[in-house]
Every structure is written in structure tokens, then in C-alpha cells.
Structure 1
Amino acid sequence: MTTATPKAPLRSAAMIASIADAGVPTTKAPLGAALNKVAESDPRIVGLSADLAKYTDMHIFRDKFPDRFFQMGMAEQSLLMAAAGMAEVGLVPFASTYSVFATRRAYDFLCLDIAEPNINVNIMAALPGLTTGYGPSHQATEDINILRGIPNLTIIDPCDAVDIEQAIPQLVDTPGPTYTRLLRGAVPRILDQYDYEFELGKAKVVRPGDDALLVSSGLMTMRALLVAEELSKQGIEVSVLHCATIKPFDEETVAREVNTDRPVFTLENHTVIGGLFSCVAEALAKQGIGKKIHHIALPDEFLAAGALPTLHDRYGLSKNAVLERVLQELKKP
């Protein structure tokens, strides 16, 4: 079900606030619906959660397939080890928890029990980056940086419900492990307004434009598209390149799109260290492309707690903050 999102209130609950901007439609719990659809014809699919099914949208799967759902309690190491065992016997597990717990608390289990044997365990990690106002204990601002160095691991940073819905079947068919920065609850739905299809491992030009290039991932692609539409009203045509897959990174497409005379910005809901900006810079360096990249990202610090709209303004991720930053750079001589 898709509904229009009302204008963001001045205050919002730190944990459950939607990250959809005003006027952007939303879809409720797209992970659960997409997983149920695939599971109807694939009995190998099982769901697990570490006492967070309701808060990672896994409860949708639990309610429809109770015999294929496993509640592991508040024990993320056990969650990943159980998922690894299921994958070893031919099942396709989707394990859900918060990003901070999957990365900081259960890293060794993800690395050695799942990635090293290269088995199909799909980790659906909610509250990535600055999608909760509960402070550093719940804000996974560095999860991509932590995980990029693990061999065999595919990392997905979806923009919206369209990305999630289209990614699930492809994750089922991916032989090795995957980590998805899950958007939960009322998830934005914006990519279906463009000629876009999710393709694992590929970056896609969602919106063309000759005046600047915004290279984005995750919810920041929503912001990039909204900013591009605003700039278009001012006669400035901005291209948006969406990198839904962070690893393996589509270096060829990114380098081709960046290697023009257009100013380039990276936009990510992640610390500036080790995320999308780093991926782009590495890709350009490998190909000998000298190009200045303006980065819009979270700072290298522990972030404050509070209401999400306030925090996104404070740390430069809101639509207005991005718009102001891009205009500022474009107006420079």
C-alpha cells in the first residue's frame, strides 16, 4: 500500500520516525512483503531475528510462515551462527537485526562463519547510518567501513521500497553472503517515478543532467533526486547516479560518469571514511582519473541524539542542506 507522506513534524520519535521527505510516497514494510512473495514459491527461505522482528519488518514473514521463522533472542552472535548452519544445509536464511549489532557485536561470526565459507546468508540490517536519533549506541554510521574489507561479502545500500522489493529475489539467487542496509517501517517510494531497475552490482543513472553529477547511495539517492528536481526549476540540470551496490562496486560506470567536465558530489548516509566517497575516490585513482569530488556525508565523530529532521539538518543530509551545499559549489567561479 502506498500513501503520501505528510510534512515532517518539528518533533519526531527518535527511533520510529520515517526518513521519507514531505510529498514522497511511502510503502509499509517492503522487506516483509517482498520476502513473503518469494518464499511462497521457494521453501528454502527462512527468517530469523534477534528479538527485533517487529522493528525490522520481519514480523510480516513471521506471521505468514511461523514454521519457517526463528526467534533467537537478544543474541546476535547466535543469530548469525544459526543462519550459517541453516545455509550449510541448503536453506536460504534472511537474518534481521540492527546494523550496529550485526557489525560491531557479531563481526567475527559474520566474517569466519559466513563470509569465509562463502555461504548464502542474507543479513537485513535496520537503522543504518543516521536513521535513528538514539545516539551512537544505535547509529551505524560506520558499518560499510567495517564490512568492506570482508572477502566474499556483497553490500547493498537501497534507496527505497523499489530497491528492496527488486533486490530480494536477486539476493536469494546470490551464492555468497549479503548485507543490506535495511530501510524499515514507512519506506520512501521514489525510484518507480524513473526508468529504473535494481541490478545487483550495477550503478544506474536514474536522472540525466549536464550541469553537475550527484553520485549517491541509500536514502541519499532520494535526497539527490529531490534536489535535482528543485535545481531543474532554476534551469540547472543535475544527473543522479545511484549506487545501490557498494560491494562489488561498479567502478567502470562510476568512472565513466565522473570523468566529465561536470562538478561531482557524493552523497551518503555514512561517515565520510570508508563509504561511498572512498569507493569513488579509489575507483578514480585506479584508473588514473584526477577529479575533485565534493563529499556530502556524516562527519568522523559520534553523532548527537535527537529528532531525525533536526539531526539531518545539523549534519548536512537534509534536502535543504544538500541543495544549499550544491548551489554554493556551483556558484563558485
Structure 2
Amino acid sequence: MADVLNRAGGMGEVAEVAGPYEIAPFGNELVALGRENPDIVGLSADMSKYSDIVPFMKEFPERYFNAGVAEQNAVMMAAGLAKVGKIAFCATYAAFLSRRALDFIAIACAHSKANVKIVAGSPGLVNPYGATHQSLEDLVVMRSVPDLTVIDPCDAVELRHVVRAAAATPGTFYIRNLRGKVPVVFDEQDFTFEIGKARLLRDGTDVAVLSTGFMTERALKAADAARAADVSAAVLHIPTIKPLDEAAVLDVAARVGRVIVIENGLRSGGLGSAVTELVHDTGLDTPITRIGLHDRFHPCAAQWYNEREFGLDQDAITGAVITGVWSGR
């Protein structure tokens, strides 16, 4: 069992990553920001190691605050620090933030327009410890909070840019954190990130794959496989779930025969629902397939196992892009 959990990034280990990667991009970028700006502070709820904020804690121990196993306290402390002019990055598990601390995020932070950046680790189906630790609904919940910017980065490069953009932008952010060994998908030399903007990574005419978070890497691989099968697939990466880049979504949806939306979370209420609502309300009749998780609790298991069982692995996504049929359950 220990080996299975280690492969999934549990028990204090990091998941195996093929190809180039960075270690703890969130924590290291926060250190760089901290050196530039003395108003940057970091907080956690007894999860410093598992949220990759340790580099900041070691560099700036006087600017790091551990609230203990009390996520509500951590968020309220962040809101209080923001009130006195600090830029507060509060990092712990997404499941605990989106459930236990939701009211504090909504009222103390978003409602007050507090300069708090919620950094949510192990979002979606990446945690091996089952329903208590898997935050399948975090995008659904956070998308419903007014005055909250919600971002799901694709890789280490984008995560670093997101952290820097959030620090420079007043207001409350919910950022899905990629921790441990984080893949590098984008080329730093020609990469740009803008809050609220999607990026067309591939153009195509048959199908448009709209993806967020690390699912974008799988969307790109699926598009490459589709090309070999004479299917022209566009890939629109949507890092900012809220505010949604409506113009980019509608532009690509109007030019293709069908749309597939892929996300690491519940298929109802998140990005897939946002895209479906927008396309429907605009009057387009482009068919949409939403790839995500169904309304159920998922078992304790390695990430690769759960993804294979529930249709989020590369084979299931590639099959849906090529044939239009998704095998998720």
C-alpha cells in the first residue's frame, strides 16, 4: 500500500514525472517575490511541507505563520494581515479550504476584497486518501463566490507566472497548486500569462478541446494523436476559470463541429458547465462533451488508478477527441 500511495504523491513523497519538471515552483516563486517585496507573507494550516511553502518558511521565518490544523484560522489570519497592508499567500489542501474555510474565504476575503491569495494543494483527483482529501468540487464551489478570481495552472512555468500575477493584482484569488515534481509543458521563452485570458495552443476545424490545469498537457497529446487519425483538433487552454474568457470560447466553438471540455474535477458545475452555459445562452448549437468526474465519492487509490477507472487518463481523453465518445463513468 505504501508503494501505491508514494506513486500517487502521498505520504510526503512526490509523484513520478516523465520529462522535464521543476521542484516546488510555488514556494520558490514566493521566495523570489518575498525578496522583492517585504509585504509578502505566507501562511499554512500545518501543511507547509505538503503545500510547497517550505522554501518561503525557511527564507523568511518571521513572515511565515502556521495556524495549526485550523484552516478557518489560517484564512482569517491572512485576511487580517491583508487589512494591515500585507499580501497574504495562504496554502494548504484544497479539500480543507473549499469545505471547512469556505465562509471565511467568501466573507472575510472575497466580500472584503482582501488581498489574500488562497493556494490550494492536491485539487481534484490527485490525492490518494479518498473522499476526505480529494477536492473534486473546489472549482464548482469557488466559481460560485463573487469577487473571487479562480485559476488552474497547467504546469510549473504557468504556476510561477500565476503566483507573480496574483501578487501584483489586488483582491482575493483561489489558485490550484501543483506541488512536488511539477511538469514543464510550456516554453518559458515565449510564454505569457494574463489573468482572465485563454490561450489557443493548437488550431483546428473538426473538434475544439477546451482544457484547464494539467489536463491541458493531455489535450495537446490527444490533439497530436488526432492529427495522425486525420482529425483536426484545436486546443484552447483556459487557466482562468473565473473570469472566463468568453470571447475566446465562443470564437473557437463557432468554428468547429464539436467541443470537448476536460477538467480535473466534477463535470457539473465547473469549467464544463461554464462553457455549456455560455454556448447555450449565446445561441450556438455546437455539441459539447464534458469530461470530468461524476457525482460520487472516489476511492483511496493511486492517481493513475483512479484516472484510468474514471476516464481521466490519456487513453480516454484521446479516444474522446478522435471518436467523440468518452468512456468515463
Say if 2:272 is the partner of 1:282.
no
Give the Å deviation of 1:261: 3.1
Give the Å deviation of 1:193: 7.9
Say if 2:162 is the partner of 1:161.
no
Are the equivalent residues in 2 in contact too, given 1:31–1:58 (CA < 8 A)?
Answer: yes
Query: Match for 1:292: what amino acid?
Result: P
Aligned residue for 1:115? 110
Aligned residue for 1:245? 240
Alignment of 1:134-213 (within 5 A): 134-192=129-187, 195-213=190-208
Structure 1 counterpart SS, 2:131: coil
Aligned residue for 2:316? 321
Give the Å deviation of 1:210: 2.7
Q: How many residues align?
A: 321
Q: 2:265 aligns with which of 244, 266, 270?
A: 270
Structure 1: how far apart are the matches of 2:158 and 2:188?
13
Q: 2:71 aligns with which of 48, 73, 76?
A: 76
Change (3 A) 1:18 1:267: farther
Q: 1:54 aligns with which of 49, 52, 56?
A: 49
Structure 2 counterpart SS, 1:232: helix
1:233-272 Cα deviation digits (max 9, x unpaired): 3343321101100011111111111112332100000101
Change (3 A) 1:240 1:115: same
Change (3 A) 1:194 1:235: farther
Structure 1: how far apart are the matches of 2:206 and 2:157?
27
Q: 1:29 aligns with which of 2, 24, 27?
A: 24
Give the Å deviation of 1:75: 0.5
1:199-238 Cα deviation digits (max 9, x unpaired): 1111110122233210000111111112122223334332
Structure 2: how far apart are the matches of 1:149 and 1:212?
29
Q: 1:40 aligns with which of 35, 40, 44?
A: 35
Query: Match for 1:198: what amino acid?
Result: F
Question: Aligned Cα RMSD in Å?
Answer: 1.9
Change (3 A) 1:275 1:19: farther
Give the Å deviation of 1:283: 1.4
Give the Å deviation of 1:195: 4.8
Aligned residue for 1:4? none
Are the equivalent residues in 2 in contact too, given 1:50–1:96 (CA < 8 A)?
Answer: yes
Q: Which runs of 5+ in 1 are unaligned?
A: 1-9
Which protein is richer in helix relative to its size? 2
More displaced 10-residue stretch of structure 1: 66-75 or 226-235:
226-235
Aligned residue for 2:84? 89
Q: Which runs of 5+ in 2 are unaligned?
A: none
Structure 2: how far apart are the matches of 1:64 and 1:87?
21
Q: 1:310 aligns with which of 301, 305, 309?
A: 305
Give the Å deviation of 1:24: 3.3
TM-score, length-scaled by structure 1: 0.92
Structure 1 counterpart SS, 2:236: strand
Are the equivalent residues in 2 in contact too, given 1:194–1:206 (CA < 8 A)?
Answer: no
Are the equivalent residues in 2 in contact too, given 1:48–1:72 (CA < 8 A)?
Answer: yes
1:258-296 Cα deviation digits (max 9, x unpaired): 112332100000101110101101211232222210111
Structure 2: how far apart are the matches of 1:24 and 1:299?
30
Give the Å deviation of 1:11: 4.1
Change (3 A) 1:309 1:47: same
Change (3 A) 1:323 1:53: same
Identity %: 39
TM-score, length-scaled by structure 2: 0.93
